[in-house]
Amino acid sequence: MAGFFITFEGVEGCGKTTQAKLLREYLIKEGYQVLLTREPGGPGISEKIRNILLDKGNSEMLPETELLLYMASRSQHTGQWIIPALQKGEIVISDRYYDSSLAYQGAARKINRNIIDIIIRYATFGLVPDITFIIDIPVEIGLSRITANLADRLESETMAFHEKVRQGFLDIAREDEKRYIIIDGRKDIDEIHEQIIHSIKLQGRLQ
């Protein structure tokens, strides 16, 4: 089969990381070659940028700097890991991708959408996920799952900020109802997992 690119998005604590791991385990058991990765992160260069982005000591970081650092990490990630894996016919699962920039730096930081779109196309070499799962959950529930003293720079943002992020994801999902699948993150973990598998099968990519 041709490569297939799956991304998971959502507010902090929504459970997307758990679902990405469960999907990887399922697909491997079914005999598929799978790359599970994350953003910001992936290759060594991207992980180093991740450390800068999430360090609470960098509270003075400007929104513009934040956007460009995310894009730098994403460009390395896409070019070094994601595109080569897809070219080999693997299934790539990424815990966050460029939709997070639209929600965090766009909807929440109020950076111009047109500017973000232009940089996204450049940083991703024009790559678009085949399917994106948005695990939607009330912000207060998601943040309650994060230990306060372990929260990173983004997780430590205000409730109002995270509300804008959540709304940003929901607005993005309306732009392409074929690619974006909104899932109620309050459901049981196994129920969400089954819904994800069903949605992928509906696309005809799994037997």
Q: Give per-residue pLDDT as tens, 25-52.
A: 999 999 999 999 999 999 999 999 999 9
Task: Answer whether residue 206 shows pLDDT above 80.
Answer: no
Chain centroid offset of residue 77 CA: 13
Task: Answer whether residue 1 shows pLDDT above 60.
Answer: no
Residue 207 has a pLDDT of 64
Protein fold of 4-202:
Rossmann fold (3.40.50)
Q: 205: pLDDT confidence band, cut at 50, 70 and 90?
A: confident
How large is the average pLDDT for residues 121-128? 98
Annotated domain spans of the chain: 4-202
Residue 136 has a pLDDT of 98
User: Whole-model pTM above 0.85?
Assistant: yes
Give me the sheet containing 34-38, strands edge to edge. Answer: 34-38, 91-95, 4-9, 131-136, 180-184
Q: Which helix (H) or strand (E) holds 171?
A: helix 159-173
Is omega for the bond preceding 84 within 30 degrees of 0, making it cis?
A: no
Burial class (CB in 10 A: 0-12, 13-18, 19+), 83: middle
Task: Answer whether residue 74 shows pLDDT above 60.
Answer: yes
Mean pLDDT, rounded, of the chain = 96
Residue 176 has a pLDDT of 95
